[in-house]
Structure 1
Amino acid sequence: MDIISLIIFLAVGALAGWLAGIIMKGRGFGAIGNIVVGVVGAVLGGYVFGFLGITTGSLLGSIVMATIGAVILLFLISLVKKI
């Protein structure tokens, strides 16, 4: 992975984490936390979409997939916090 790919990956993660924080009504974790949630959400979204047989080839598709994964991750975190 070259530096440009890493920057794009982190930017998509940050955007996905920020969008997931908005969707989940303020459950974001700040700038660095949103990047982490977005990157982990992108991996989770990749597994979920791959399991369903859905692939994305565009940047917009990657952002949607990462956002859905980040929303799932934030939901799971909120469930764990309730226990």
Structure 2
Amino acid sequence: MEGVGWIATIVIGGIAGWLAGKFMEARYGILMNILLGIVGSIVANSVLAQFHVFVEGGWLGYLVTGFLGAVVLIFVARLIKR
């Protein structure tokens, strides 16, 4: 996450996780949703980098990838929980 600082990364990841939790109707709690957003953003950026796709657009790009990564993580967590 070279485009934004660490504090901004945490805030953006938190917002992305919160939005993904609302979108997926996850009942994990606000802190877990924030953590999923941060981890989801890291995972999504890592996966995209493997395909030579790099996020541009500053905080908005990280918000979108964080949201998508968190949605995928919530989906996987639901599969494992069953």
TM range (shorter): 0.7 to 0.9
Identity %: 33
Given that 1:40 and 1:70 are in contact with CA atoms closer than 8 Å, whether structure 2 keeps it comes out as yes
Q: 2:8 and 2:29 mapped to 1: Cα distance?
A: 19
RMSD: 1.7
Instruction: State the SS of the aligned residue for 1:35.
Output: helix
Q: 1:28 and 1:44 mapped to 2: Cα distance?
A: 22
Instruction: State the SS of the aligned residue for 2:5.
Output: helix
- Equivalenced residues, count: 78
Quote how far apart the aligned CAs of 1:10 are. 1.2
The aligned counterpart of 2:12 is: 12
Name stretches of at least 5 consecutive residues in structure 2 with no aligned partner: none
What is the TM-score when the length of structure 1 is the normalising length?
0.81
The aligned counterpart of 2:64 is: 64
Larger relative contact order (CA 8 Å, sep ≥ 6) = 2
What is the TM-score when the length of structure 2 is the normalising length?
0.82
The aligned counterpart of 2:54 is: 55
